[in-house]
Structure 1
Amino acid sequence: MKAIIVEDEIPAREELEYLIEAYSEIEVTHSFDDGLDVLKFLQEQETDVIFLDINIPSLNGMLLASTISKFIKRPYIVFTTAYKEHAVEAFELEAFDYVLKPYDEKRIAAMLNRLESAYKRDQTEMLSPERSQNTRGQEEKASVKASTRINLKKNDKIIVTDANDIYYAEASEKVTLVYTQNEVYTMQMSISEFHSHLPEDMFYRCHRSYSVNLTKIREIVPWFNQTYMLRLQDLNAEVPVSRSKVKEFRQIMQL
């Protein structure tokens, strides 16, 4: 796995290089202190991950990441910055992580471990025969990869999460609460918008206020007015199926 570092402060760049070498097998091939130089580099070469500072000359890190997000083959982006206020924007750009300075060694080590695991998983998907027959297949695979890796936000941190680890989502006023086995995340978007990012074959909009992971349903309980209440694996939670969704839900679940 190859990486580049974009950082205009030499001490910060050297510290990050040290931590990457100490806690991962990632190879840092190039370092840059200017955003335009990075774009020129990427026009001719590819890299797997970019460790990207925000406050850099010529083209700041957010604009650079926005440009990179339009690439057909997009590298992972890990923001490394002293500024908390850009975390939401980083999430919208589907950054892998958002690491604050000064660096916390344990935090960096954990991020690098997740990064290498995500890279290995995605490489395995890319090499599967049914997904690598032609260019079109590769583009479809990239779409699948994007849809099965969901960025969740908690305490100004971006947590890259496998969609299968999400049990359900619930609308709560102007935000959406997302439930995994051990955490609850607050997303600053409507449930309709959040549901649109989820794999269609895995999640079902069972109610105007709920989206449920069909693979996590443990029990389907008949409820009032010929509706259902869904009990989920691992969680002490119940998710309703609205009356307008009952017929479709029965077809999906072959009831």
Structure 2
Amino acid sequence: MRAIIVEDEVPAREELEYLVEVYSEIEVTHFFDDGLDVLKFLQEHETDVIFLDINIPSLNGMLLASTISKFTKRPYIVFTTAYKEHAAQAFELEAFDYVLKPYDEKRIAAMLSRLESAFKRDQAETMLPETQLNSQGLQREIPSKASSRINLKKNDKIIVTDANDIYYAIASEKVTLVYTHQEEYTMPMSITEFDSLLPEDLFFRCHRSYTVNLTKIREIVPWFNQTYMLRLKDLTVEIPVSRSKVKEFRQIMHL
């Protein structure tokens, strides 16, 4: 699930980004502080949810939401604002939620949980044509399994690669960069989509922008705020473990 945050106050933006990372699997792909820039972005890109402040330059959040409400495929809109008086108008625009600043952590966590549930439900409804019928004529889902062989792309060629040969992957705007010992590949998908292709027993999403092969970790270095930096075998790169992933990482690595 992809999201953008529209907020012109840096502390508020960073706090919301952190809460989204801690309490959900939502991937924040872009940040904006101007309403017109958001409209330009949406003309060429799709996103699933917009966390939208009201008091932003050029085109305020209400006018922006009103325009978006006319889209054929509309993203969920969650207003994040200090102004109570716009709540009625927000729900007339069929906003998913209206969250007041300063943020209440439990309130944000509950909203994110409902948002992910709504997204999964809506996705399931749109994917019904992709189901198959069993011998009794009942619908069954087509199973999807992460494979030990991954098709990586480079220079218009598809390179069939053993998953364990992948060291790490990093999100880079609309694509994911994938690294083996000696090669870099560009996959035309989000890191969340790429992560779903990988065997769960080998790879760990250690940060919203990074996935790492656990078998390639050479050194775990303590870092700021009780987080870690990971150094990999044969490479000089360092991979961060975010605050929201530290507990899970410690459990996996028996730290």
Unmatched segments (≥5 aa) in structure 1 = 132-255
Runs of at least 4 residues off by over 6 Å = none
Sequence identity percentage? 88
AA aligned opposite 2:45: Q
Q: CA deviation at 1:129?
A: 1.7
Q: CA deviation at 1:130?
A: 8.9
2:110 match: 110
AA aligned opposite 1:81: T
Per-residue CA deviations over 1:2-26 (Å, capped at 9, x if unaligned) read 0000000000000000000000000
Distance 1:2 1:79 in 2: 16
SS at match of 1:28: strand
Distance 2:22 2:76 in 1: 20
2:78 match: 78
Distance 1:124 1:33 in 2: 33
Aligned length: 131
Alignment RMSD? 1.2
SS at match of 1:31: strand
Q: CA deviation at 1:73?
A: 0.2
What is the TM-score when the length of structure 1 is the normalising length? 0.51
Which structure has greater helix proportion?
1
Per-residue CA deviations over 1:65-109 (Å, capped at 9, x if unaligned) read 000000000000000000000000001000000000000000000
Per-residue CA deviations over 1:145-186 (Å, capped at 9, x if unaligned) read xxxxxxxxxxxxxxxxxxxxxxxxxxxxxxxxxxxxxxxxxx
1:111-190 alignment to 2 at 5 Å?
111-129=111-129
2:23 match: 23
Distance 1:45 1:34 in 2: 16
Distance 1:130 1:49 in 2: 24
1:48 match: 48
Distance 1:126 1:76 in 2: 16
AA aligned opposite 2:34: D
What is the TM-score when the length of structure 2 is the normalising length? 0.51
AA aligned opposite 1:42: L
SS at match of 1:70: coil
Q: CA deviation at 1:120?
A: 0.1
Distance 2:38 2:51 in 1: 11
Distance 2:70 2:101 in 1: 27
2:69 match: 69
Per-residue CA deviations over 1:92-147 (Å, capped at 9, x if unaligned) read 0000000000000000000000000000000000011299xxxxxxxxxxxxxxxx
Unmatched segments (≥5 aa) in structure 2 = 132-255
SS at match of 2:28: strand
Distance 1:27 1:130 in 2: 25
Call closer, same or farther: CA 1:103–1:41 in 2, change over 3 Å: same
AA aligned opposite 1:100: L
2:90 match: 90
Per-residue CA deviations over 1:178-227 (Å, capped at 9, x if unaligned) read xxxxxxxxxxxxxxxxxxxxxxxxxxxxxxxxxxxxxxxxxxxxxxxxxx
